[in-house]
Amino acid sequence: MISTALAVQTESVCKVFCQEAEDVCAVRDVSLDIERGEFTAIAGPSGSGKTTLLNLIGGLTRPTSGRISISGQDIVAMSNQELAKLRLHEVGFVFQAYNLLPVLSAFENAEFQMLLQGIAKSERYERVTALFERTGMAGLEDRKPGKLSGGQQQRVAVIRAVAGRPALVLADEPTANLDSSASESLLDMMYELNRELNVTFMFATHDSRVMQRARRLIRMIDGVIDSDERRR
């Protein structure tokens, strides 16, 4: 049964990629309940299925079998158009490569998803300004991505992801291109947003720093969940 109280729910999810040599089962029979406000890391070596699982939850790829719901909405049954609309309003993405638009300022990048959502200019300004101040980015609003450090670019990406107030934020290796100091600073920021604004975060990572910060650590091996540890 789909629960509307959960940010994410997966039931017996499998994903098989068909290749010439042989089919590859990237995710096998994964069932998860992610509550609102969780700060969860999905960890594992390359090929473990963690990124594929994140992409399935975010509706970027469809499962071979099983069911996935976000905020009680069954995304597997949706059309491509319905799924795109749900991603726009319910899911924020943070990618390893930042994925900022180089011709836009930091502020314009941060408000971009809200612009697509149809949120009024005054509301966009208020939300982004508050987030820039909260995350130590005040004063950098007019800079283009090329004039920002890697850590600053990833902060803008996180602001963009949370500003639209999605049900969850999916972060795929967000610290991979950052040095130790920038990684710690970014994780501090995301942890504070989680605690203060109750933003639900799910990470795919092999970074031990992310694993240590997570209040729930799910380890995957060969497409299956090997362990699921909850912490306070």
- List the chain pLDDT tens, one digit each, 232 residues: 555 579 999 999 999 998 877 888 999 999 999 999 999 999 999 999 999 999 999 999 999 999 999 999 999 999 999 999 999 999 999 988 889 999 999 999 999 999 999 999 999 999 999 999 989 999 999 999 999 999 999 999 999 999 999 989 999 999 988 899 999 999 999 999 999 888 899 999 999 999 999 999 999 999 999 999 998 7
Residue 39: predicted pLDDT: 96
Contact 191, 213 (CB under 8 A): yes
Question: Is residue 89 situated within a structural domain?
Answer: yes
Domain count of the fold of the chain: 1
Question: Is residue 1 situated within a structural domain?
Answer: no
For the entire predicted model, the pTM comes to: 0.92
* Nearest partner of 38 among 163, 214, 160, 182, judged by Cα: 214
Question: Is residue 118 situated within a structural domain?
Answer: yes
CATH of the domain at 140: 3.40.50.300
Residue 4: predicted pLDDT: 59
Residue 98's domain comprises: 39-59+79-230
Residue 212 φ/ψ, nearest 5 degrees: -65, -35
Question: Is residue 64 situated within a structural domain?
Answer: no
Question: Is residue 26 situated within a structural domain?
Answer: no
Residue 44: predicted pLDDT: 94
Q: What's the angle, vertex CA 50, arms to CA 49 and CA 56, rounded to 5?
A: 85
Question: Is residue 222 situated within a structural domain?
Answer: yes
Contact 59, 91 (CB under 8 A): yes
